[in-house]
Structure 1
Amino acid sequence: MAARLLSRRPRRRAPKRAGPAAEVRADGDEPGAAPEREVLAVCAGGGTGYDIGSLAVASARSWAAGGREVLLVDADASGSGLAKRLSKATHKAFSPSERGMPSLIAARRGIEADSLREHCWTLEVGGGSLWALFAPTHPSGARRSARWLADHAGELAALRAHRWVVVSLPGLPDEIHVELLERASVTAIASQVSDASQLMALRQAADKYAAGGWQRSNARLIIEGQAGISDAIIDAETGIAVVGRLGQVRDSALLGGRARLGDRRVLAAIDKIAAGLTEPPAETVLSSPRLGRPPAPPSRSLRRKKRGHDAA
C-alpha cells in the first residue's frame, strides 16, 4: 500500500526554488529484469468537481510514495496553470518557461528517457521519485504542447520501460485526448454521476473516446460524491467499471499542500484507488471513509409504505 501522500514538515512562507529532476535509477531495474509499469491517463467524463490536473498530481504522488519512479506529464491543452497552482500549494517555484514542455520541444530531440530529466522538476515525495513535466500557462502554448505530445504519443508510452507515467488530460474529449488515451495502459475517468443527465454526459464522453480506438476495458471510473445511481447501472450504461468514490477535498491538498482531517481521509481513499488502478476491476468498491458504501436499495417495508402514501 502506498505510503501517506503528504509530508508533515513545516511549510516555509517564502517560495523556494525547486531543483531540476535528479537522476535516479528506475524502480525494479535489475540485470535481465523488465519491470511491469503503467501509463495512466487521468481525464474527465462529463461534469467533474475536481481539477483533473490536481487529481493526476495526487495519483502520481501516491504511486511515487510507494517507492516507484514516476513521471507526471501535464497535457492540458487549455492552459490551466498547473505549475502555478502547485507552486502556491507547496510554497516552491515551478516555472514551465524555465524547464518544461517549451524547453523539451525546443530541444528537438523528441521524448528521450536519457535527456528528459533536463526538462522536468522534482516533486518531494517519500519513497520513490516524482518528475513533473509542465505545460505552458498560456492557452495557445498549451495547445501546441498538447498537440506535440499527441504526435509523440508512441515515445511517451515507451517511457514505461524506465518510469511509471501519469498523463493529465483536462478538458472535453477531443482528438488530442484520443491519441494519448490510445497509448495509455489504464485510464482513470473522474465524473459526477448523481442523475440521469450526468450519466448521459459520461456515456457520451466514453463513446467519443472509444470512437477513436480507445479501449473501454482499460478504463476505470472514479465517482465524485455520493452517487444517486448504483455502480451496476453506471457499469451497464458506460461499459466502465467503478473503482472508487471520493468526497470533498481541497484542491491544495490534492496538490500536496497542508491537509486537514477531512482531506487526509479522501487522500487515503485516493491511495487505495491508485493502488487498485493497476489491478483488474474488482466487484467491490473502494469508497471514501467520508461517504461509506453506496446507498442500499429501499427495503420491502419502505416500498410498501411509499405505495400506501402514494395511494393516499
Structure 2
Amino acid sequence: MSAPGAGLDAGLVGLLMARRWGATGRQTILIDAGTAGGALARRLGSAMQSEYLPAERGLPSLIAAREPLTLKLMADHCYSLDGAAGLRWVLFAPDHPDGAKYAVRWLSQRASELMAIDRERSIVISCSLPDDEDDLLPLLKVMPRLVLLAPARTREDAEALQLWCERRGLLDDSHSGTAPQRAFVVIVGPTVLEDDEIEGIAKLPVAGHLPEIDDKKLLQMSRRRRDRASTREFDQVFELCLTMGA
C-alpha cells in the first residue's frame, strides 16, 4: 500500500514483487485494489501490446459470477502474466472508480476466504490510500501483513506518517482481527533519519529503502527479466518483507 506522497505506484511495485517471487517458483495472485479504476490494466496492456479487460476477466467478472470465492474461481477470472507457467496471476480492478470502490468493499467482506486462498497461493493486494479515502480500511485491517510505502525525509514526515496510520487504526497490534498482525514501512526516497529513529517515531519497523522512480521506468522494470541491477534494491526489500512477515 502506498501512502500519500510515496513517490511509487503501489500497483507497479506489486507487479515487481509478483515477478520476483515468481522467479523463485512462488505462485502469486496480484489483486489490484486501487479505487481510481482500471489504470493498472490499461497501462500494463499498453506496455505489453495486449488488452486486459476486467469486465471479462477481473474483479468485475469475479463479482458477477456470484459464486463462493475459491482459488478455482479466481483462476477463471485472473490473467496469467507468464502464460502457461501460471506463476503470476493478476486480478484487475474495475474500469470505473465507483465500481472499483464497490469491489474493495466486496473483497473486505470476503477476507476469510482470501486468507484461505493465500494458504494455497500467495496473495499480494496493491492499493493507494489517499487522505480522503476510507473504503480500503476494512480490507487492510484484516490483512495478516501490511507493507506501507511512504516518504520520511524529515522527522516531521515521520511524525505525520505515525498520525496518518494512527487515525486509520493501522497501528493496533492486538491481533484482534481489527488491524494488520504485522505492519512494516518501506521508506521511499532520501531521508535524514536513521531506521531506528523512524521506527521510534512512526511506530513501524522499517523493512528497507527504495528510490523514487517514475511510473514509466517502474513499468519497464516490472516487465523485463534482464537488468537485475536496476531491480536489486526492490528484490532485497521484497525478500526482507517476506522474512519479516514469517
TM range (shorter): 0.7 to 0.9
Deviations 1:31-90 (A, max 9, x none): xxxxxxxxxxxx123421111111111111111111011001011122151111111222
Question: Which stretch has the larger CA shift, 90-99 or 178-187?
Answer: 178-187
Match of 1:254 in 2: 218
The 1:157/1:175 distance shift into structure 2, 3 A limit, reads: farther
How many angstroms apart in 2 are the aligned matches of 1:165 and 1:79?
20
SS of the residue corresponding to residue 136 of structure 2 reads helix
1:243, distance to aligned residue in structure 2 (A):
1.6
How many angstroms apart in 1 are the aligned matches of 2:108 and 2:32?
12
- Where has structure 1 moved over 4 Å in runs of 4 or more? 125-128, 258-261
Match of 2:14 in 1: 56
How many angstroms apart in 2 are the aligned matches of 1:160 and 1:171?
22
Q: What is the Cα-based RMSD across aligned positions, in Å?
A: 2.5
1:206, distance to aligned residue in structure 2 (A):
1.9
The within-5 A match list for 1:17-32 is none
Find out whether 1:205 has 2:164 as its counterpart. yes
TM-score (norm 2): 0.86
Match of 2:236 in 1: 272
Question: Which stretch has the larger CA shift, 156-165 or 120-129?
Answer: 120-129
The within-5 A match list for 1:37-48 is 43-48=1-6
On the 8 A contact 2:2/2:8 being kept in 1, the answer is no
How many angstroms apart in 2 are the aligned matches of 1:93 and 1:194?
39
The within-5 A match list for 1:292-311 is none
How many angstroms apart in 2 are the aligned matches of 1:120 and 1:129?
12
Find out whether 1:96 has 2:54 as its counterpart. yes
Match of 2:195 in 1: 231
Aligned partner of 1:178 among 100, 120, 137: 137
How many angstroms apart in 2 are the aligned matches of 1:126 and 1:98?
19
On the 8 A contact 1:252/1:258 being kept in 2, the answer is no
How many angstroms apart in 1 are the aligned matches of 2:9 and 2:153?
18
Q: Which has the higher helix share?
A: 2
SS of the residue corresponding to residue 279 of structure 1 reads helix
The amino acid across from 2:171 in the alignment is A
The 1:80/1:197 distance shift into structure 2, 3 A limit, reads: farther
The percent of aligned pairs where both chains have the same amino acid is 31
How many angstroms apart in 1 are the aligned matches of 2:206 and 2:110?
30
Deviations 1:178-204 (A, max 9, x none): 322233222111011112332233112
Task: Give the gaps of 5 or more residues in structure 1.
Answer: 1-42, 282-312
The 1:132/1:51 distance shift into structure 2, 3 A limit, reads: same
The 1:75/1:201 distance shift into structure 2, 3 A limit, reads: same
1:110, distance to aligned residue in structure 2 (A):
3.3
1:122, distance to aligned residue in structure 2 (A):
0.5
The 1:51/1:125 distance shift into structure 2, 3 A limit, reads: farther
The 1:187/1:93 distance shift into structure 2, 3 A limit, reads: same
How many angstroms apart in 2 are the aligned matches of 1:164 and 1:259?
21
Aligned residues: 236
On the 8 A contact 2:57/2:78 being kept in 1, the answer is yes
On the 8 A contact 1:70/1:164 being kept in 2, the answer is yes
1:150, distance to aligned residue in structure 2 (A):
1.0
How many angstroms apart in 1 are the aligned matches of 2:69 and 2:54?
16
How many angstroms apart in 2 are the aligned matches of 1:106 and 1:87?
23
SS of the residue corresponding to residue 131 of structure 1 reads strand
How many angstroms apart in 1 are the aligned matches of 2:83 and 2:204?
31
The within-5 A match list for 1:134-145 is 134-145=92-103
1:265, distance to aligned residue in structure 2 (A):
3.3
Aligned partner of 1:214 among 172, 179, 199: 179
On the 8 A contact 1:186/1:277 being kept in 2, the answer is no
On the 8 A contact 2:80/2:90 being kept in 1, the answer is yes
Find out whether 1:130 has 2:88 as its counterpart. yes
SS of the residue corresponding to residue 171 of structure 2 reads helix
1:147, distance to aligned residue in structure 2 (A):
1.1
1:177, distance to aligned residue in structure 2 (A):
2.9
